[in-house]
Amino acid sequence: MTIQLTYSGNFEDISSTSFQEKLTQIRENLHQKVGAGSDFLGWHDWPSNMTDAFLNEMKETAQKIKSTSDVLIVIGIGGSYLGSKAVMEALSSYFKASSGVEVIFAGHHVSGEYLANLMEYVNDKEVSINVISKSGTTTEPALAFRFLQTYMEKRYGVDAASRIYVTTDAQKGSLLHLATEKGYQRFEVPANVGGRYSVFTAVGLLPIAAAGYDIQELMRGAKNAEAFYGTADFSNNTAMQYAAARNFLYNKGYEVEILATFDAKLSFVQEWWKQLFGESEGKEGKGVFPASVSYTTDLHSLGQYIQDGRRFLFETFLNVQKVQTDLTVFEAENNGDELNYLAGLSLQEFNKVGYEATSKAHLDGGVPQLALTIEKLDEYHIGELLYFFMISCAYSAYLLDINPFDQPGVEDYKTNIFKLLKKPGY
């Protein structure tokens, strides 16, 4: 099953000739690699161009990491960590360790306490590091790596170099120079793939494979998605329809999209999605603001606002049809909790009812709604979903006449930090 889209509004509005014509042109531009930001379209046909040799290199390196380490510290921020984190969270058991190494992220914020606690935690474990930064100059991961590199050198001496893997640009950046000088094994972030579109490159694949997940299946999902959601046939292209619906609602004044799930394992897919859409579309005073909620947890918090607050929101439910494990409510002898009326209902069935009830309530409250449904959480379907969102995002940003692949706004805060800290040259 491919990703299904349902829409509470009138499908005729989003199937209008004008949307179809615009999206057909956008699709054509993506295929021809022309249009704003076209230097960064490497992700678009990446899945279909991926070679077995590349996948094998990822798997072999992951195997080496697994055979020498208990923990892999992945250092990166933004697109250099959210994709792999999203995949791992979606696929892992809540409590049981995966079949690979334990992956711990660092450098995605600045905290001395976090780094100190991390070094303490890994002290009695064998450690490898994968430091990931396309630019090779981002401060947060660079700072974390400064501490962790020194930690590794103190702990492993000259052998530290064989435990440090660097994923960065092939031509430039301080990290590249450091890696070359120290002889670390290097993987390339292709120059034509931006951070938030890089999950299927070594940026995402190496940590995901090291964590024990099947990257071949992930890429099979992405490759099929490239074909499904790249079709010129609007009526069969859910990604185009999703982009059209977002644009239609945005132009009607619904400027905030809430991605809602009933599956806590999707919480980092939501974080990744927020970065993807927020950084791609939020420019030139335009763009849908991406937010997220996790139900039923947030029905006891933001649910109130969604039901009754300002009417500028639309909600996109991300539903998963089948769960891996479920529990069924049983009849209790002493019905002290008064839940016997639920006997025979599984918790997944409860969530499906929760979805139906929430969807109706929010619709009645004036929140337009979309729903995207995927079959299950496995490598194949997550690969398909992430690619689906990437291409939807490109369609959506281009509908707003926005270049989806740059992020000029994130420079402003950096410049201020550098000035305040008197970085040479600022």
Residues with catalytic annotation? 279, 414
Q: Which of 42, 47, 79, 282 binds ligand PA5 (CB under 6 A)?
A: 79
Shortest distance, position 50 Cβ to ligand PA5, whole Å? 20
Q: Which stretch binds ligand PA5 (CB under 6 A): 72-80, 177-185, 232-240, 377-385?
A: 72-80
Q: Which residues contact 277 (CB under 8 A, 6 or more apart)?
A: 257, 287, 288, 290, 389, 393, 396
Task: Compute how many residues bind ligand PA5; rule: CB under 6 A.
Answer: 14
**CB atoms inside a 10 Å sphere around CB 188:** 17
Shortest distance, position 141 Cβ to ligand PA5, whole Å? 6
Binders of ligand PA5 among residues 196 to 235 (CB under 6 A) are 196
Q: Which is nearer to ligand PA5, 196 or 283 (CB)?
A: 196
Q: Which stretch binds ligand PA5 (CB under 6 A): 194-202, 229-237, 250-258, 362-370?
A: 194-202
- The verdict on 77 binding ligand PA5 (CB under 6 A) reads yes
Q: How far apart are CA 62 and CA 57, in angstroms?
A: 8
Shortest distance, position 29 Cβ to ligand PA5, whole Å? 21
Q: Which stretch binds ligand PA5 (CB under 6 A): 192-200, 204-212, 229-237, 241-249?
A: 192-200
Pairing of strands 289-294, 256-261: parallel
Q: Is-contact 165 61, C-beta < 8 A?
A: yes
Q: Is-contact 344 328, C-beta < 8 A?
A: yes
Tokens 């490598």 -> residue: 379
Binders of ligand PA5 among residues 269 to 288 (CB under 6 A) are 279
Q: Which stretch binds ligand PA5 (CB under 6 A): 62-70, 92-100, 135-143, 384-392?
A: 135-143
Q: Which of 42, 78, 207, 287 binds ligand PA5 (CB under 6 A)?
A: 78
Q: What element of type H or E holds 72?
A: strand 71-75
Shortest distance, position 272 Cβ to ligand PA5, whole Å? 10
Q: Which of 42, 47, 100, 195 binds ligand PA5 (CB under 6 A)?
A: 195
Q: What are the residues facing 6 on neighbouring strands?
A: 371
Q: Which of 27, 66, 134, 283 binds ligand PA5 (CB under 6 A)?
A: 134
Shortest distance, position 127 Cβ to ligand PA5, whole Å? 21
Shortest distance, position 343 Cβ to ligand PA5, whole Å? 48
Q: Which residues contact 119 (CB under 8 A, 6 or more apart)?
A: 147, 148, 151
- Tell which residue, 363, 362, 383, 361, has the closest CA to residue 374: 383
Q: What 8-state DSSP symbol labels residue 101?
A: P
- The verdict on 130 binding ligand PA5 (CB under 6 A) reads no
Q: How far apart are CA 381 and CA 318, in angstroms?
A: 13
Quick one: residue 175, left, alpha or beta (phi over 0 = left, psi -120 to 50 = alpha)?
Answer: alpha
Provide the binding-site residues for ligand PA5, judged by CB under 6 A.
77-80, 133-135, 138, 141, 194-196, 279, 407
